Amino acid sequence: MERDATMQDVLDYVERHQRQYLADLTDFVRIPSVSALSEHAADVAACAEYVAGRLRAAGLTRADVMPTPGHPVVYGEWLGAPGKPTALVYGHYDVQPVDPIGLWDSPPFEATIRDGLLFGRGASDDKGQVLMHWAALEAHLKVRKALPVNVKVLVEGEEEVGSRNLEEFVAAHRDTLAADVVVVSDTDTFAPGLPSICYGLRGIAYFQIDVVGPTRDLHSGSYGGAVANPVEVLAKILAALKDEHGRIAIPGFYDDVRPITPEEKAEFDRLPFDEEEFRRETGAPALFGEEGYTTLERRWTRPTLDPNGIWGGFTGEGTKTVLPSRASAKVSCRLVPDQDPERISDLFESYVKSLCPPWATLTVTRMDGGKPSVTPLDHPATKAAARALEAGFGKRPVYTRAGGSIPIVATFQEVLGAPTVLMGIALPDDHAHAPNERLDLASFFAGIRSAAHLWEELAKG
Amino acid sequence: MERDATMQDVLDYVERHQRQYLADLTDFVRIPSVSALSEHAADVAACAEYVAGRLRAAGLTRADVMPTPGHPVVYGEWLGAPGKPTALVYGHYDVQPVDPIGLWDSPPFEATIRDGLLFGRGASDDKGQVLMHWAALEAHLKVRKALPVNVKVLVEGEEEVGSRNLEEFVAAHRDTLAADVVVVSDTDTFAPGLPSICYGLRGIAYFQIDVVGPTRDLHSGSYGGAVANPVEVLAKILAALKDEHGRIAIPGFYDDVRPITPEEKAEFDRLPFDEEEFRRETGAPALFGEEGYTTLERRWTRPTLDPNGIWGGFTGEGTKTVLPSRASAKVSCRLVPDQDPERISDLFESYVKSLCPPWATLTVTRMDGGKPSVTPLDHPATKAAARALEAGFGKRPVYTRAGGSIPIVATFQEVLGAPTVLMGIALPDDHAHAPNERLDLASFFAGIRSAAHLWEELAKG
């Protein structure tokens, strides 16, 4: 008599199929789905078909290749658990170009295993992590014929070229994609062997500032001293944006910053972070940031302001005695909850304009904007992911944030209204985007186990 | 019986030969001595020969084409007045290219007279002014068989390409060129119809500042807030170089500035200077400069500091979220007597370095440097030139300075130890370097008369 299959049976299935997963990953890596290069367009399309086929084989009730104006999206679903939560899993099947090819120790599209690492373009970013999910889904569906929750899977083909059609796709398929939580597996763990949940991302507000003085470049001898210099005006404006304590001087800028909780601070303080190693890695002679915060807090939980570029006047070799007509800078702010990019843009623009003297004219152009996102530590999805990772890795996960933005996370939040759990299992030294990209197989198998646990844990609510 | 020829006889000679001067200028303009274009090298050489021939015909006892590594120099002399002062006249026979040729109303190398203006490339800059001197010398030597002073003439062929071989030439022929005063006729009058003596030029000290933070461009999301931004560091340094009153903040910068005399101030205050017209011409929304000084004083008599260019990070279209590794600026100071470029460079460098925080490294590279020069209003040569211009134009000359530098003036001062009188008769609207360059013939003939008077006046001491 057949007993009901248990979670342990699912895990046993996963254990028995490790060789299969390596074979699958080898097939997956073999398809050179380089989204940036038009000569690989057919490969990208073939890769989408491959993913859809694997999702169907895993037992999803639907798995379609769906067109976009660029490379297609693969969408799959299993919705056989009415009344239970619905999770949307996100990943991407496209990969970075392989140049410089000469620096690869083995062919980039031939998966090669050495020392517990599987080398190949996309092994870590993001094919291994996509496979991790379909393997876990398959284990559940083969062993138990069902999933504990409803699952939707979205695997895009343009992540490496800026996900340029995804926002529109998500908006157009808002109902199809509706979910209670989004699970993104396209990030690193904090350190090797340390399962990590990245629960927060910073937002962004990006500007260009143009300062114009005279209508043409002037001779700095004939006019210098009588006509204000736009480079000088711009420098004084940029200098006034931050005080000597590293604090942004825009009035009201910090009004909506939500302080981190003592629990978050405690989590960060236990992370194995070597400040000197971090400094050495940047090459900067010393670190510098807002007074009163640790380096991790500055990078993850505090808003920042950085000029991204500046230009004006003569920039060639040698000397030219010009008083430039104009000077420009790109400046962006990284935002944290609950800062709103629109409100920050208003504050930025009005402060910058107030700094411009009457002898120059100034324009602020608003460019990219994106909201910060944080899924609280005590959110049920965060806690479910933590339990799943602990079960899969045999080690309590750490909680991290990232200083950057992942635009699709903001899209999911805004369009679907769903919180995101970032459950990546890549390692910081996986050489993503570089020659000899690789996937740590111990992390890979632990990731599949964690993914299998995830649906069980999410069902607990 | 022949009476001794008088100055009036010289002036009568000049008056009778006006038609000849126009024919000469037409010949001179016809030679397309464009120094910047290698296809005109033979024309430049031919032009040098033409000038030497005309100087010989004028009665100079020596007139040679002398080689340089570039285009030749023409040197002539008449040294028949032992015990009298020696003057060195400087001008140039090379001209600017004629592009855009389509904007010329008549062929650039065919002198064309319309409305009292002679149109042609080089008519004003500087062939007309060179011819003015040889015509006056010829008048003296034909009529009186002698000059009241010793005269040397140096006409170079590379002024329009930066006089790149002249400093070395002057140094190599220091004894040949030795003089008590240098007369340069390659400048504008302050306003049409207003004979002008430009008695001062500013010097210069030019720097490049390079600020380096991290050794590579960083992701502004992952690192922003924890690593100092070199663009921000550079902006704060540039901002600190001048206070809100337009005063340069480098300690000791003004120590050696010689205030202008009440007499100089009175001269400037009587100049027909329209501040609003000047502003309009620059296109700047308002003028700005050091508090407590007029616009002309700021341009001519006060030292300045201007960024000439700035660059760093991402400067393309759109957005890139980079925390730049480095940022650079070109910065130059215009100097006035008795500031020394070397001392100012020391002060600049040590102040700028003191402004660099420990989280960045900074390099200051010294580039061009040149001393300011002023020939006092009461210098005998200045007074002689003033009397000559008043006699030639029938109008008291105004005294001006220029905000820029003329490197050869500094060279004459440093190598020959001789003061310079800038006695230019070009008009500000002569379209030098532009299409339809022209020479005002009334100024031209007044200039020849003035040049004739000059030797007489210089002889008075």
DSSP string for A63-124:
EEEE--SSSPEEEEEE---TTS-EEEEEEE--B----SGGG-SS-TTS-EEETTEEESTTII
Would B287 be classed as within a structural domain?
A: no
Distance between the two ends of chain B, CA-based, in angstroms? 32
- Going by their DSSP bridges, the two strands B196-201 and B373-374 should be labelled as antiparallel
Residues of chain B found within 8 Å of residue A320, distances taken between Cβ atoms: 308-309, 330
pLDDT of the residue at B1: 41
Contact A321 B404 (CB under 8 A): yes
| Helices and strands (H and E) in chain B: how many | 15, 18
Half-sphere exposure of B33 (CA within 13 A, CB side): 31
A407 and A335 in one domain?
no
* pLDDT, tens digit, 9 for 90 and up, residues B411-437: 898 899 999 999 999 998 899 888 999
Contact B309 A308 (CB under 8 A): no
Token couple for B192: 């049409």
Residues of chain A found within 8 Å of residue B311, distances taken between Cβ atoms: 310-312, 315
Mean pLDDT, chain A, whole residue set: 95
pLDDT of the residue at B3: 73
CA distance linking residue B114 with residue B449, whole number of Å: 22
Q: Which of A207, A209, A210, A232 to mutate to test the interface with B (most CBs of B within 10 A)?
A: A232
Residues of chain A found within 8 Å of residue B369, distances taken between Cβ atoms: none
CB pairs under 8 A between A and B: 288
Element (DSSP H or E) covering residue B385:
helix B380-393
Contact A295 B404 (CB under 8 A): no
Nearest to A147 by CA among A202, A71, A203, A86: A86
A278 CB neighbour count, 10 Å cutoff? 17
Nearest to A332 by CA among A367, A371, A290, A297: A367
Is the Cβ–Cβ distance between B411 and B167 less than 8 Å?
Answer: yes
A221 and A126 in one domain?
no
Token couple for B132: 């003015």
Contact B319 A334 (CB under 8 A): no
Measure B322 CA to nearest chain A CA, in Å. 5
**Amino acid identity for residue B67 in this structure:** P
Measure A62 CA to nearest chain B CA, in Å. 37
DSSP symbols for B281-349: HHT-SS----TTS-HHHHHHTS-EEEEEEEEEE--SSS---EE-SEEEEEEEEEE-TT--HHHHHHHHH
A211 and A179 in one domain?
no
A328 and A241 in one domain?
yes
| Ramachandran assignment for B441, one of left (phi > 0), alpha (psi -120 to 50 degrees), beta (any other) | alpha
Tell me the ipTM for this assembly: 0.88
Is the Cβ–Cβ distance between A439 and A24 less than 8 Å?
Answer: no
Contact A220 B306 (CB under 8 A): yes
* pLDDT, tens digit, 9 for 90 and up, residues B300-328: 999 999 999 999 999 998 888 899 999 99
Token couple for B83: 């015990």
Domain region containing A161: 7-201+372-459
Contact A204 B221 (CB under 8 A): yes
Is the Cβ–Cβ distance between B358 and B227 less than 8 Å?
Answer: no
A361 and A392 in one domain?
no
Would A268 be classed as within a structural domain?
A: no
Measure A411 CA to nearest chain B CA, in Å. 18
Residues of chain B found within 8 Å of residue A238, distances taken between Cβ atoms: 231-232, 235-236, 239
Token couple for B193: 């119809």
B351 and B315 in one domain?
yes
| Better pLDDT: B262 or A321 | B262
Contact B320 A313 (CB under 8 A): no
Mean pLDDT for B394-413 is: 90
A100 and A27 in one domain?
yes
CA distance linking residue B94 with residue B157, whole number of Å: 5
pLDDT band at A2; cut points 50, 70, 90: low
Mean pLDDT for B295-301 is: 97
| Helices and strands (H and E) in chain A: how many | 15, 18
Element (DSSP H or E) covering residue B30:
helix B18-30
pLDDT of the residue at A417: 92
CA distance linking residue B368 with residue A398, whole number of Å: 57
Nearest to B308 among A220, A325, A405 (CB): A220
Would A85 be classed as within a structural domain?
A: yes
Angle between helices A18-30 and A128-143 (to 10 degrees): 140
Contact B226 A321 (CB under 8 A): no
Would A391 be classed as within a structural domain?
A: yes
Contact B308 A310 (CB under 8 A): no
CA torsion A248-A250-A255-A258 (nearest 10°) is -30
CA distance linking residue B372 with residue B407, whole number of Å: 10
pLDDT of the residue at A22: 98
A269 CB neighbour count, 10 Å cutoff? 11
What residues are paired with A209 via a beta bridge? A329, A364
Would A164 be classed as within a structural domain?
A: yes
CA dihedral over A211, A213, A214, A220, signed as positive or negative = negative
CA distance linking residue B381 with residue A43, whole number of Å: 84
B133 and B118 in one domain?
yes
Residue B375, pLDDT > 70, answer yes
Query: Using alpha carbons only, what angle is made at residue A334 by residues A329 and A335, rounded to the nearest 5 degrees?
Result: 135
Nearest to A236 among B213, B220, B239 (CB): B239
Measure A37 CA to nearest chain B CA, in Å. 21
Token couple for B392: 């030639």
Mean pLDDT for B171-180 is: 97
Residue A395, pLDDT > 60, answer yes
Closest chain B residue to A302, measured at CA: B225
Distances (CA, A) of B190 to A219, A222, B168, B387, B392: 17, 13, 32, 17, 16
Active site residues of B: 94, 159
Give the contacts of B265 (CB within 8 A, at least 6 positions apart): B297
Residue A461, pLDDT > 90, answer no
Would B183 be classed as within a structural domain?
A: yes
Token couple for B115: 């409305």
Closest chain A residue to B214, measured at CA: A284
CA distance linking residue B207 with residue B213, whole number of Å: 20
pLDDT of the residue at A37: 93
Task: Estimate the share of chain A in helix, then strand, then coil, as percent rounded to the nearest 5.
Answer: 40, 25, 40
Contact A298 B367 (CB under 8 A): no
DSSP symbols for A136-187: HHHHHHHHTSS-SSEEEEEEES-GGGT-TTHHHHHHHTHHHH--SEEEE---
In the DSSP assignment, the letter for residue B356 is: -
Measure B396 CA to nearest chain A CA, in Å. 24
pLDDT of the residue at A26: 98
Would B59 be classed as within a structural domain?
A: yes
Token couple for B360: 């960045």
Element (DSSP H or E) covering residue B209:
strand B203-212
Nearest to A239 among B202, B239, B322 (CB): B239
CATH number at residue A351: 3.30.70.360
B166 and B29 in one domain?
yes
Active site residues of A: 94, 159
Helix/strand/coil for B278: helix
CATH number at residue A52: 3.40.630.10
In the DSSP assignment, the letter for residue A460 is: T
A241 and A139 in one domain?
no
Q: Domain boundary at A325, A349, A369, which?
A: A369
Is the Cβ–Cβ distance between A216 and B206 less than 8 Å?
Answer: no
* pLDDT, tens digit, 9 for 90 and up, residues B95-146: 999 988 999 999 999 999 999 999 999 999 999 999 999 999 999 999 999 9
Distance between the two ends of chain A, CA-based, in angstroms? 32
Give the contacts of A44 (CB within 8 A, at least 6 positions apart): A33, A34, A35, A71, A93, A94, A157
Q: Domain boundary at B370, B397, B431, which?
A: B370
Residues of chain B found within 8 Å of residue A273, distances taken between Cβ atoms: none
Element (DSSP H or E) covering residue B260:
none
Helix/strand/coil for B183: strand
Residue A9, pLDDT > 80, answer yes
Domain tally, chain B? 2
* pLDDT, tens digit, 9 for 90 and up, residues B43-55: 999 999 999 999 9
A114 CB neighbour count, 10 Å cutoff? 10
CA distance linking residue B137 with residue B148, whole number of Å: 10
Mean pLDDT, chain B, whole residue set: 95
- Of the listed ranges A1-5, A131-135, B411-415, the least confidently predicted one is A1-5
Closest chain A residue to B242, measured at CA: A232
Residue B2, pLDDT > 70, answer no
Would B281 be classed as within a structural domain?
A: no
Compute φ and ψ for B244, nearest 5 degrees. -75, -10
- Of the listed ranges B63-77, B193-207, B229-243, the least confidently predicted one is B193-207
Is the Cβ–Cβ distance between A325 and A204 less than 8 Å?
Answer: no
Mean pLDDT for B252-270 is: 96
Is the Cβ–Cβ distance between A215 and B282 less than 8 Å?
Answer: yes
A441 and A339 in one domain?
no
Q: Domain boundary at B370, B397, B430, which?
A: B370
Nearest to B214 among A215, A282, A404 (CB): A282
Nearest to B226 among A299, A323, A367 (CB): A299
Q: Is the backbone peptide bond immediately before A100 cis, with ω within 30 degrees of 0?
A: yes
* pLDDT, tens digit, 9 for 90 and up, residues A65-76: 999 999 999 999
CA distance linking residue A96 with residue A406, whole number of Å: 17
Mean pLDDT for A427-444 is: 93
A359 CB neighbour count, 10 Å cutoff? 19
Compute φ and ψ for B279, nearest 5 degrees. -60, -45
Residue A204, pLDDT > 50, answer yes
Contact B226 A287 (CB under 8 A): yes
Measure A435 CA to nearest chain B CA, in Å. 19
DSSP symbols for A229-272: -HHHHHHHHHHTTB-TTS-B-STTTTTTPPPPPHHHHHHHHTS-
pLDDT band at A1; cut points 50, 70, 90: very low
Give the contacts of A458 (CB within 8 A, at least 6 positions apart): A85, A87, A148, A149, A181, A381, A384
Token couple for A14: 């996963």
B232 and B312 in one domain?
yes
Give the contacts of B231 (CB within 8 A, at least 6 positions apart): A238, A306, A307, A308, A309, A310, A329, B312, B313, B324, B327
pLDDT of the residue at B161: 87
Helix/strand/coil for B445: helix
